[in-house]
Amino acid sequence: MKTTLTPVNEAYIKRNRLKKSAKDMAAHIGCSGSIVSRYLNRNGLQVPRELIIKFRAQKMTGRTTFTSEEDKRIRKEYLTTPIKKLAAEMGRAATGINGRLKAMGLTIPAEIINQRKLAGSFKMGLNPFNKGKKQHEFLSKEALERVRQTQFKKGQVPHNWAHYKDGEIVTHRDMGKKGGNKLYKWIRVTLRDWRMLHVYNWEKHNGPVPAGYIVVFKNGDTMNCEVNNLELITRAENMRRNSIHNYPEEIQKTIRTISKINKKIKQHEK
């Protein structure tokens, strides 16, 4: 398949851009549609939107199971009836209706979409229809049977747990803590008991970690979980160690400046 266009190819595109779609021209030339589209955009030869819709509709001709009567109903009601409701009444999937709208070049205005979202959202003080009810009180027997087929059974083990064995160690990146993104090792003690390896090793030699204390790495290497690299400190001490005040004044100013810039960026992005 071609990755570049020859002068002959470019002349062909210029002649046919208002007669054929980018994909059709690309198929004739023997390249991808994106190459033709980039050439058109780069040279200011954009095709009017109405023509793009026309080409798309032509492509869909003969490829749909929607009848002409159904198309007429969609055109008539798509602005007055929510798509999901219209699909249910027609016995069609909502994605099928949306695809048909696209093929016919019909667009639902943004204000109507927003109105439908508001109408379908829960209002303050509104209770869900199934609040306080058991499943058999609001589901049919058929629906209840379908739900039961996919429910977790008592004692069932998730598929991503089963292939681990007791004592197996895995590494995970901690993305949750402020300033995190560090790697930590975890050990499977039992089927439903996973522990951080450094805490597990320390407790094996010293007993449970007292309240208000944490186990930290002496050299800062979270992959070295040997007992001689671990120490027990208070949370207050850990806070002091990680405090900005431990740095020289010049670095403290730089950290504060970066923090202010990041806050401004986040405020601008909102």
Segment 163-177 shows an average pLDDT of 81
Residues facing residue 171 across a β-bridge: 185
Domain that holds residue 178: 166-245
- Highest mean pLDDT pick, 48-52, 168-172, 244-248: 168-172
Give the whole-angstrom CA distance, residue 206 versus residue 215: 11
Q: Is residue 178 pLDDT above 60, yes or no?
A: no
Segment 10-17 shows an average pLDDT of 90
CB 83, CB 98: distance < 8 Å: yes
Question: Which residue is associated with the tokens 């990755």?
Answer: 3
The secondary structure element, H or E, covering residue 194 is strand 193-196
Band (pLDDT 50/70/90 cuts) for residue 48 is confident
Looking at residue 152, what is its pLDDT?
82
For residue 148, tell me if it sits in a domain. no
pTM: 0.41
Same domain, 193 and 227: yes
For residue 112, tell me if it sits in a domain. yes
Task: Give pLDDT tens digits for 182-236.
Answer: 889 999 998 888 999 999 999 999 999 999 999 999 998 999 999 999 999 999 8
Looking at residue 180, what is its pLDDT?
57
Looking at residue 138, what is its pLDDT?
85
Domain boundary among 82, 100, 120: 120
CB 68, CB 100: distance < 8 Å: no
CB 2, CB 30: distance < 8 Å: yes
Name the residue among 116, 86, 123 with its Cα closest to residue 101: 86
Looking at residue 108, what is its pLDDT?
93
For residue 45, tell me if it sits in a domain. yes
Looking at residue 1, what is its pLDDT?
66
How many structural domains compose the chain?
Answer: 3
For residue 230, tell me if it sits in a domain. yes
